[in-house]
């Protein structure tokens, strides 16, 4: 039977910024969750309701310093994976996390554990991902992002299209009917090829995304 009950909103309006700052400070200072919550006149549920939307608080609850540089990277990665799991495009999930899709790619290549999690979420969302036929059109902003990815030399047209959430077919259709777009696309492809050739003998040997 189909579930018809509206989902519970995962939001918390019980922790204001001043109380939240005190809570994090107490956790950083070594207070237990019970002690910190009581001192801030919060219930445990108040705190736990806040956690899904507050990576720094989650990190503090784990006993680590949420303001450390490496912890900031962990927070961004967790936000990215959470948004990706909800169905956002890779580029949009990266932007929601305050980073870029190219940085996400580098993290996935450099950190095997994050790479495994990243690929696992991609597989998880494949079942309910929006089909290419219903993805966004090649609007000017997405076109510029498409050209930038192609010029980097790390992406083919299919890979770049997937990265920014547009259908590959939409790119080819736009190329057929828009001479100016076709010229820019060809220029981006040529610059991408030049970038790959320039890096062929250097340290950057990253494969092109299909």
Q: What is the pLDDT of residues 91-148, one digit of tens each?
A: 888 888 888 888 998 999 999 999 999 999 988 887 666 554 445 577 888 899 999 9
**Per-residue confidence (pLDDT) for residue 169, from 0 to 100:** 81
**Per-residue confidence (pLDDT) for residue 27, from 0 to 100:** 92
Q: What is the pLDDT of residues 31-49, one digit of tens each?
A: 999 999 999 999 999 898 8
- Residue 13: is its pLDDT beyond 70? no
Residue 52, token pair as written in the block = 């899904």
Identify any residues that bridge with 136 across adjacent strands, giving them in sequence order.
Answer: 166
SS3 6: coil
Give the list of residues 6+ apart from residue 71 with CB closer than 8 angstroms, or none: 56, 59, 64, 65
- Residue 52: is its pLDDT beyond 60? yes
CA distance 72 to 59: 9
**Per-residue confidence (pLDDT) for residue 7, from 0 to 100:** 44
The number of angstroms, rounded, from the C-alpha of 8 to the middle of its chain's C-alpha atoms is 24
SS3 203: coil
Residue 135, token pair as written in the block = 């993805």
Q: What is the pLDDT of residues 158-176, one digit of tens each?
A: 888 888 878 788 888 889 8
Place of tokens 């999690």: 117
SS3 156: coil
**Per-residue confidence (pLDDT) for residue 187, from 0 to 100:** 95
Alpha helices (H) in 68-210, listed in sequence order: 69-85, 90-96, 101-110, 112-126, 140-151, 157-164, 168-177, 179-199
The closest alpha carbon to 147, from 89, 190, 104, belongs to 190
- Residue 205: is its pLDDT beyond 60? no
CA distance 179 to 27: 60
């Amino acid at each position: 039977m189909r579930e018809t009950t509206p989902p519970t909103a995962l939001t918390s309006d019980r922790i204001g910024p001043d109380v939240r700052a005190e809570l994090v400070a107490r956790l950083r200072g070594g207070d237990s969750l019970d002690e910190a919550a009581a001192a801030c006149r919060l219930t445990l549920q108040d705190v736990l309701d806040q956690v899904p939307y507050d990576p720094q608080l989650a990190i503090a609850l784990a006993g680590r310093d949420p303001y450390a540089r490496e912890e900031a990277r962990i927070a961004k990665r967790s936000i990215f994976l959470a948004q990706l799991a909800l169905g956002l495009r890779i580029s949009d999930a990266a932007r929601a996390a305050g980073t870029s899709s190219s940085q996400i790619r580098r993290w996935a290549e450099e950190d095997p554990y994050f790479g495994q999690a990243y690929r696992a979420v991609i597989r998880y969302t494949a079942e309910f991902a929006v089909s290419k036929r219903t993805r966004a059109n090649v609007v000017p902003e997405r076109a510029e992002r498409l050209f930038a990815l192609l010029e980097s030399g790390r992406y083919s047209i299919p890979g770049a299209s997937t990265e920014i959430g547009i259908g590959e077919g939409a790119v080819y259709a736009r190329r057929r009917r828009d001479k100016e777009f076709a010229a820019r696309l060809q220029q981006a492809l040529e610059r991408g090829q030049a970038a790959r050739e320039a890096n062929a003998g250097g340290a950057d040997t990253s494969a092109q995304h299909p």
